Structure 1
C-alpha cells in the first residue's frame, strides 16, 4: 500500500479528491473541492466505535468492514458509475487509515489510478494551521477603523468593487462582529472551515498590493482569528471612517431591521449588556423597543454603548491609529463606489509622496 500513498503537495495531480469520512466530519471541514463519499454514515461510525470499546476490537472491525464494503459498492453503482478508465482520484479519511485505504485498494483493483493521501485530513489540517502562522504576515494591510454604524463593511464592499484587494472577515465568519452581529438564519461556520476559507482568501491576494480589512478584535462571534493575522493588521496603516450621527443611526436602523422584527429576541440580546450597563439603562432600551422608538434606540446605542466601546478598543489595538487617513463617509448614499475610488486615489497619492524621488542616471561625460 505504501506505493499508493501521496503527500499533500500533490493535490493538483488528481482529477478528483474524495473525502470518505462521515457527513458530519466533512461538514466540519474538508479539503476545498473535495466531494463526500462516506464509507460509514454518522450513525454507523458511532456504532463501530461503541462496539470497539464495549464488545471487542475484532467484532468492531468485522462489522465495520461489512459496512464499508456495502457502502463502497453503493458508491460504485451511483456516485462513481460514470468515471472513465483513466480517472485519477485522491482519497482521504481522518488520518490516512483503514477507511481511505479500503477505497484506494478497491479503486486500484478496478483499474483506476487511485491514491491515498498520506496522513489524511490530519495532515491537511496541520498544514492549514502552519499556513495561518506565516501567510498573513506576507501582506500589507490597511484597516478600516471607525465606530459602529459608520459603514465600514459597506465601504469594504465598495473598495472591492472599485478594484481593491479586500479581506471580508465578517463574510467568512457569517457574523457582523458585535453583540448584535448574528446573521438571521445563517449559522457561523466551524472554526476549522473558517480557517480553510481564510487560507483560500489569503492565497488569492497579490502581496505587492495592499489588502483592505475591516478593524476586528480577535473574535468574530464564535470564530477566533489567527494571531498572526490580527497582529499584522493591528499594526498596519489605518483609514478612520467617519460618518454623521444621523447617517450612522439611519445605517443601524437598516442593519438592525431583522432585530426589530423579533423584539423579544432583540431584548434578550441587549440583556447580555447588563454588567457593561446598568439594569435600568438596559430596561430603558427594552422600553424603546416595545414602544417602536427605533431611531431613538439606535441613537442611544451609538452614544452610550458603541462609541465608548470603540474609543477603548481602538486605542488599545491599532498602533497606527494616530496617523490614520480620515474619511468622511456617506454610507447610505448611492455613490459609495465613487467614494471608495476617491479614497484609493488619496491613498495612492499619499504613498507616492512618501517615496523618495528617483535620481536620473548619471551620464558619463
Structure 2
C-alpha cells in the first residue's frame, strides 16, 4: 500500500536524495500554483476536470466518480508511460490529498511503480508556506542593491548569481520588474506562486552569511513581500549603484525593447500621466506616439522615476548606506565584486 507523507517528510526526502514531486491536478491548476520543482502528470485535463466537476455539482458524487473513472481508464496506458519515465523516488499530490492523488498512487502501485502521496495535498503545502513566512526568521544578512531606474540592478544580481553568490531575485519570482512598465513581456505571478518560490530560496540559503537582493517596495506587481523579508530588507545594508543618466536610458531601451510593443508602453504611460508635470507629460506622450523612445525614457526618468526614487531612498540612515559610482553596469559589477571579495561582510558597514 502506498504511504501518505507530510509536507515536512517531503522536504526531508527532497533534501536527502534526487526526488520527483508530481502534481496530478489539471494543467490550469498546475500553472496557477504548485510546489516548486514539481512536474505535471494530470489525471484529468482542464476540460475533463470541468466536466467531472459539473456532474458532481449537478448530479452527485457517485455519478462524478463514475464519469471520472470512465475518462481515466481510457488514458491509463499514457498515464503510466509518463510515470515510467521518472527514475527517482516520487510523491504524487493533488489539491487536498483526495481522489485524484489516491487514484494515481493506487494505480501506480498496481503497476509496480512505488509512489508516496502527500497528505492534505497542495492545500497542506500552502498552509505550511504561510506558517513558515509568519513564524520563521531568515538568518542571513540582506545586502540590498539599490539605484535609480536603469542602473542595471537586476543584471548585476543575475551575474553575481552566475558567479555563485547567494541571490534571491524577487522580480523574477514576481514576474514583474517593479515599475508601471514592469509587466510588459512578462507573466505576473500570483501570491501563492511567489510565496512558494520565496520559501524555496529561503530554505536554500538559510545557512549563508549574507544574501543579495534588489531594493523593492512592499508590492511587486501583483504580489506583496512578506514581513519577514521586507522588514529585514529595510534593516539591511543598502548598496546604491549610481550610473550616468544616458547609460541608464540605454539600459532601459535594451531591456524593454519598446519598439516591439509600443501600444503597451502608451497604455502603461496613461496610468501615470496625471502624476507628471503637464508640459513634460505631453512631450513624453508625443515621443511615445512617434516611436522616439530615448527622449521619452529620459523625460520619464527626470520627471517621474528619479524623484520617486530619491524620496524612497531618503529614509535610510547613513550608516546603512554604501554608494558605488560607476560609468556602466560592468563597471558597477566589478566594483561590487571587489567589495565582496576583499572585505568580510562584518566590515562592510564600517
What TM-score, normalized by structure 1, do the two folds share? 0.83
Q: Which moved more, 1:193-202 or 1:157-166?
A: 157-166
Query: Is the CA contact (8 Å cut-off) linking 2:320 and 2:349 kept in structure 1?
Result: no
Distance 2:217 2:348 in 1: 30
CA distance change for structure 1 residues 115 and 206 in 2, over 3 Å: closer, same or farther? closer
Distance 1:314 1:107 in 2: 56
Shift of residue 292 of structure 1? 4.8
CA distance change for structure 1 residues 232 and 281 in 2, over 3 Å: closer, same or farther? same
The 5 A counterparts of 1:280-319 are: 280-316=279-315, 319=316
Matching residue within 331, 335, 339 for 2:335:
339
Matching residue within 58, 61, 64 for 2:68:
64
Name which one, 1 or 2, has greater alpha-carbon Rg. Answer: 1
Q: Secondary structure at the match of 2:167?
A: strand
Query: Is the CA contact (8 Å cut-off) linking 2:56 and 2:64 kept in structure 1?
Result: yes
Shift of residue 171 of structure 1? 2.1
Structure 1 residue 80 corresponds to structure 2 residue 76: no
Structure 1 residue 151 corresponds to structure 2 residue 157: no
Structure 1 residue 324 corresponds to structure 2 residue 324: no
Q: CA RMSD in A?
A: 2.9
Shift of residue 217 of structure 1? 0.6
Partner of residue 9, structure 1: 8
Structure 1 residue 41 corresponds to structure 2 residue 45: yes
Q: Secondary structure at the match of 1:241?
A: strand
Partner of residue 232, structure 2: 232
Q: Which moved more, 1:233-242 or 1:31-40?
A: 31-40
Q: State the Cα deviation string for residues 34-58 of structure 1 (Å, max 9, x = none).
A: 3322112211111121122222333
Distance 2:50 2:336 in 1: 53
Distance 1:153 1:288 in 2: 27
CA distance change for structure 1 residues 107 and 137 in 2, over 3 Å: closer, same or farther? same
How many correspondences in the alignment? Answer: 345
CA distance change for structure 1 residues 301 and 4 in 2, over 3 Å: closer, same or farther? same
Structure 1 residue 30 corresponds to structure 2 residue 34: yes
Shift of residue 277 of structure 1? 2.3
CA distance change for structure 1 residues 262 and 118 in 2, over 3 Å: closer, same or farther? closer
CA distance change for structure 1 residues 130 and 330 in 2, over 3 Å: closer, same or farther? farther
Structure 2, unpaired ranges of 5+: none
Query: Is the CA contact (8 Å cut-off) linking 1:137 and 1:229 kept in structure 2?
Result: yes
Shift of residue 135 of structure 1? 4.8
Shift of residue 310 of structure 1? 0.8
What TM-score, normalized by structure 2, do the two folds share? 0.86
Query: Is the CA contact (8 Å cut-off) linking 2:157 and 2:169 kept in structure 1?
Result: yes
Query: Is the CA contact (8 Å cut-off) linking 1:143 and 1:213 kept in structure 2?
Result: yes
CA distance change for structure 1 residues 75 and 340 in 2, over 3 Å: closer, same or farther? same
Partner of residue 199, structure 2: 199
Structure 1, unpaired ranges of 5+: 355-365
